[in-house]
Amino acid sequence: MLIIEELSVEVGGKPILNQINMEIPDGETHILFGPNGSGKTSLMMTIIGFSGYKVTHGKITFQGEDITYMPVHERARLGVGVSFQRPPTINGLKTKDLVALCARNKPVDVDSLADMLNFKGFLERDVNRNFSGGEIKRSELLQLMAQEPELVLLDEPESGVDLENIVLLGEVVNTLLERGVKQPRGILPHAHLKKRTKSALVITHTGHILDYITADRGQVLYNGNLCCSRNAREILKWIREYGYEECVRCTM
C-alpha cells in the first residue's frame, strides 16, 4: 500500500525527518509513536503533500505509484485520507456541504453518516468554526467516512476526546478500516476479513487509542529518526515503563 524509502524532509530549511524507511502493507494498521516534536505530524503532512514540507531525499510510493511530488488532490483521489489535528476553519462553508464534497461523485447519505458519529447537530455549522478538540475529531472522521480512502492517516485521534466519545470514535475508525467485528447480515466475518485492504497509520504519543482499535505493528519516531518497528502494544509497554529516551536506546 505505502512504501517510504530513505525519506528526508526539511521544514523552513531545517531538517525534520532523516532517512525514514517504512512499509505499510495492504490491510494493515500501524501505530506511529513518538514524543512531541519528534516529526510524526511532519511525516503525515509529507505523505499527503502539503507545501512547506520539502522532500530533500528519498521516495514515497503509494499503490505502486511514485507520489513524492504529486499534487495534494491527486494523492487524495488515489486513496490517501487524512484526519488532521488542527484543521483550519472555513467560514461560510457548511460542514454537510464539505462532507458531500468529500464523496466526490459517489452517492452519500450525509445524515446517516453523521448519525453514526453523533454529529448531526453540527452539519449546519461552518467547517471547524468554534469546534472543540473532540468535535474536530468527529468532523474529520465524518469527512473520511464520505471520502472512503484506502490509506487513512490519523493524527492523534484520541486527543481532546472525552471518554464517552472515544469509544464511538474507535468504532468509527474500525468501520473506516473494515476492522469492525459486527458484519452486515449475509456476510461471513472471515470472508470480510479476507478482502480487507484498507490500511492506516495512526499517530499517538499517549497510546490510549490502542484500547479501542487493533494494530498490526508499531513504530517509534524520535528526533526525526524511525528507531523501532515491532508489536505496537509491546512498544507501548516499554515507553510507559522507561520513557521514550530509554526505549529508543536499544536501536541506537
The vertex-82 CA angle with 149 and 22, nearest 5°, equals: 90
* Nearest residue to 109 via CA among 94, 123, 89: 123
Round to whole Å and give the CA distance between 92 and 127: 8
Round to whole Å and give the CA distance between 252 and 244: 12
Can residue 37 be called a binding residue for another protein (CB under 8 A)?
Answer: no
User: Which residues partner with 81 through β-bridges?
Assistant: 152
Contact region with another protein (CB under 8 A), list: 21-29, 33-41, 88-96, 199-207: 88-96
Q: Of 150 and 216, which has the nearer Cβ to another protein?
A: 150
Q: Of 47 and 166, which has the nearer Cβ to another protein?
A: 47
Q: Which of residues 119-178 bind another protein (CB under 8 A)?
A: 126, 143, 147
Contact region with another protein (CB under 8 A), list: 22-30, 100-108, 111-119, 220-228: 100-108
Can residue 82 be called a binding residue for another protein (CB under 8 A)?
Answer: yes
The SS3 assignment for 230 reads: strand
* Nearest residue to 144 via CA among 60, 200, 187, 212: 200
Can residue 90 be called a binding residue for another protein (CB under 8 A)?
Answer: yes
Can residue 92 be called a binding residue for another protein (CB under 8 A)?
Answer: yes
The SS3 assignment for 223 reads: coil
Can residue 91 be called a binding residue for another protein (CB under 8 A)?
Answer: yes
CB of 72 to another protein, least distance (A): 4
Can residue 98 be called a binding residue for another protein (CB under 8 A)?
Answer: yes
* Nearest residue to 2 via CA among 43, 56, 51: 43
Contact region with another protein (CB under 8 A), list: 12-20, 75-83, 186-194, 241-249: 75-83
